[in-house]
Structure 1
Amino acid sequence: MIVGIDISKKWFDAAWQVDGQGRHQRFEYTDEDIGQLLAQTPEAAHYVMEATGTYHARLALRLHESGRRVSVVNPLVIKRFSQMQLSRVKSDRADAELIRRYGEQQPLSPWAPATDEVLELQQAHGWLNDLIGERTRLLNRREAHAHHAKPNAFVISQMAAQLQQLDGQIKTCERHLEVMVKKSFTELFERLLTIPSIGAKTAIELIIVTDGFRRFEDVKALCAYIGVSPTTFRSGSSVNGKGGIAKLGQGRMRQLLYLCSWTAKTCNPACRALYARLKALGKPPKVINVAIAHKLLRQAFAVATTNAPFSTEYA
């Protein structure tokens, strides 16, 4: 039995079938109502839900701790499934039923909670991203304010004070993440640093977003998750679009790898050879740097999964 669950902040809707008859019920997002869901559905049921920020985490963990099978699906996958079904209704009840039908028709991967160390890293990492985003917005506002005919001195001083505060918070958060990563992933962190052009920030980011490289079984899945997989846009004789990369994943991770590519093309032997080959083919600099970033990610996956430091012989 598949139980489709659509989660909101204060409640969740569940849809399942009993003897071919559809069942639907709304539960308050409380421990008591989660217990009611467990009581009304059999132990062999498979619960499917979307990854809705942090709202799905408590329900998924409670179901997992109760010995139930749980799958957490990317919301974009459910959206595309809805479009494929030509769905015209959008409601909590309809979404729960849609997720149930998806679970019946598509293969599901089991969900398991991360360790306490990884959860702490992920939360601190999310806070760091929020701080960086806020600093970027403040810098944009400061630049726009400078274009006023008579920029206000008070506003300028307030922006400078806030920027100084954000810079301090970002540095503190980065130091906290580095200490935690060195404590929980000491050997992996040191191996990643053996890759020429991979620095501490990039190594820490790689470890956090990949859960210590335990989230992926092959490098293609990792490249797709980060968003550096090449794309093709061609069909027949009339459609011959420009290719690129599938930017569906981790934007900050792509940014760090792209920055690493600038030094990798001179200090990393495999990347240097790739740079020379693509430049000889007349590829634009941006395309070459993206290809080098892809190469660096593959090297990081190899170093992490083989438990061996970087080697030019196998790079």
Structure 2
Amino acid sequence: MIVGIDISKTSFDAAWREAGQQQHRTLAYTAAGLAELLALTPTASHYVMEATGAYHSRLAVWLYEAGRPLTVLNPLVVKRYAQMQLSRVKSDKADAELLCRYGEAHALTPWTPEPDEIVELQQAHGWLDDLVRARTQLLNRQEAAAHQPRPSPFVADQMRTQLDQLQRQIADCEAHLGALVKKSFSALYTRLLSIPSVGPRTAMELIIVTAGFSRFKDVKALGAYIGVTPTTYQSGTSVKGQGGIAKLGQSRMRQLLYLCSWTAKSCNPACRALHDRLKAAGKPAKVINVAIAHKLLRQAFAVATTNRPYSVEYA
């Protein structure tokens, strides 16, 4: 039996089909609500939910620890499925029933929680992103305040104090992330650093967003996840759109790989050969840099999955 679950902050809606009849319950997002859900549904039930930020995590872990199989879906997959069904109703009950129908119509991949060290890395990494974003906003405000005809000394002093605090927090968080990576993924971190033009920040980011390269079976899936795979927009004889890359994945990881491409075309032999070939073909500089970023990602996947450091021969 498939059980669709739509989760909110304080409650969750469960929908399933029993004896041909659609069943629905709204339960409190508490341990008591989970116990009620387990009592209402058979042990062999398969639960389907979508990833909703941090809200789905606790319920997913509870179900996993209770020995119940579950699947966590990408929200974009659920949105596209609703559009295919021409769904015109948006409510918690309707979403739970939609997830139930999706589970009945598709093969489901069982979900398993990430290892504790990966969860700690992801949380610290998310906090670092928030700190960097706050620093950028503060720097922009400082720039705007400096153009005032009579800047306030009080506001300027407050901004400097806050910026100093953010700088210290960012440094502490980066040090914490570095220690975690070197503790849990020391060998992998060293192999990634063996790739010419890949520095400590990029190596650490690759390990975090790929969970130590454990999430992907092939490099094509990784490229799609990061968002560096090329796209085509053509149809018939009249539609000839401009291609690009599928920017559906990790924007921060793409940015770091793109920055690495600036030096890779001079110090990484395989990337240098790719650069020369594409330049001779008349490709624009941005297209060449994106292709080099993709090449670096493939090299990183190779050294991670073969347990070998970078080698000019294999690259």
Alpha-carbon distance in 1 for matches of 2:156, 2:283? 44
Q: Which runs of 5+ in 1 are unaligned?
A: none
Cα deviations across residues 69-97 of structure 1 (Å, max 9, x unaligned)? Answer: 11101111111111111111110000101
Alpha-carbon distance in 2 for matches of 1:151, 1:281? 53
The alpha-carbon deviation at position 220 of structure 1 amounts to 0.7
Amino acid at match of 1:19: A
State the TM-score, normalized to the length of structure 2: 0.98
Amino acid at match of 2:300: A
The alpha-carbon deviation at position 107 of structure 1 amounts to 2.4
Alpha-carbon distance in 2 for matches of 1:141, 1:104? 51
| Aligned match of 1:185 | 185
Please give the residue correspondences for 1:58-69 in structure 2 after superposition, counting only pairs within 5 Å: 58-69=58-69
Alpha-carbon distance in 2 for matches of 1:124, 1:199? 20
| Aligned match of 2:238 | 238
Alpha-carbon distance in 1 for matches of 2:141, 2:89? 40
Alpha-carbon distance in 2 for matches of 1:32, 1:111? 23
| Aligned match of 2:80 | 80
Cα deviations across residues 45-68 of structure 1 (Å, max 9, x unaligned)? Answer: 110101111111111111111111
Q: Percent identity?
A: 69
Amino acid at match of 2:260: C
SS at match of 2:61: helix
Mapped pair 1:117 → 2:109? no
Alpha-carbon distance in 2 for matches of 1:12, 1:268? 51
| Aligned match of 2:212 | 212
| Aligned match of 2:164 | 164
The alpha-carbon deviation at position 139 of structure 1 amounts to 1.8
Alpha-carbon distance in 2 for matches of 1:186, 1:39? 45
Alpha-carbon distance in 1 for matches of 2:44, 2:311? 48
SS at match of 2:25: strand
| Aligned match of 1:35 | 35
Alpha-carbon distance in 2 for matches of 1:167, 1:283? 40
| Aligned match of 1:175 | 175
SS at match of 2:71: strand
| Aligned match of 2:282 | 282
Mapped pair 1:250 → 2:227? no
Alpha-carbon distance in 2 for matches of 1:268, 1:296? 9
SS at match of 1:52: coil
- Aligned pair count reads 315
Alpha-carbon distance in 2 for matches of 1:46, 1:264? 47
Cα deviations across residues 256-299 of structure 1 (Å, max 9, x unaligned)? Answer: 11111111110001110111111111111111111111110110
Amino acid at match of 1:79: K
Alpha-carbon distance in 2 for matches of 1:259, 1:157? 34
The alpha-carbon deviation at position 103 of structure 1 amounts to 1.2
Alpha-carbon distance in 1 for matches of 2:131, 2:217? 32
Alpha-carbon distance in 2 for matches of 1:122, 1:2? 30
Alpha-carbon distance in 2 for matches of 1:244, 1:164? 40
| Aligned match of 1:138 | 138
Cα deviations across residues 198-249 of structure 1 (Å, max 9, x unaligned)? Answer: 1111111100110000011111111111111111111111111111111111
| Aligned match of 1:222 | 222
The alpha-carbon deviation at position 99 of structure 1 amounts to 0.9
State the TM-score, normalized to the length of structure 1: 0.98
